[in-house]
Amino acid sequence: MRRSTTAIALVAAILSLAGAADAGVATTGPSTAAEGLNVVDQVQFVFGGRQHCWYEDGWHGPGWYWCGYRLRHGRGWAGGEGFRGWKHR
C-alpha cells in the first residue's frame, strides 16, 4: 500500500509540473512560438492531391517526389528541376 501511495504521489507531482510547463508555453507571445517552428522543413507543393517535396537523393535522382517517397523505388517521382515551374532552394 505504501509503494502505491508513493507512486501515485510521484505521478501526480510529475503531471503537475508538466501542466505548469504547458501553461507557461501557452502564455508566451507569438515571437516565442515562432522560434519553436522547424525552419529546416522543405517547402511542399500539392499536385494531384499529393504533397510533393524536393529531394537531392531520391531513387530517380534529384527532383520532386511525393513527400516521404524518395527511397520507394518506382513510386512517387514527379519530375526534375522545373517540374510545373516549381523551384527549390
Q: What is the mean pLDDT of the chain?
A: 73
User: How high is the pLDDT of residue 18?
Assistant: 55
**End-to-end Cα separation, the chain, in angstroms:** 61
User: How high is the pLDDT of residue 83?
Assistant: 86
> Tens digit of pLDDT for each residue in 25-53?
444 445 555 555 444 445 578 888 999 99
User: How high is the pLDDT of residue 70?
Assistant: 92
3-state secondary structure of 16: helix
Domain residue ranges in the chain: 2-35, 45-85
pTM (2 decimals)?
0.50
13 has pLDDT over 70: no
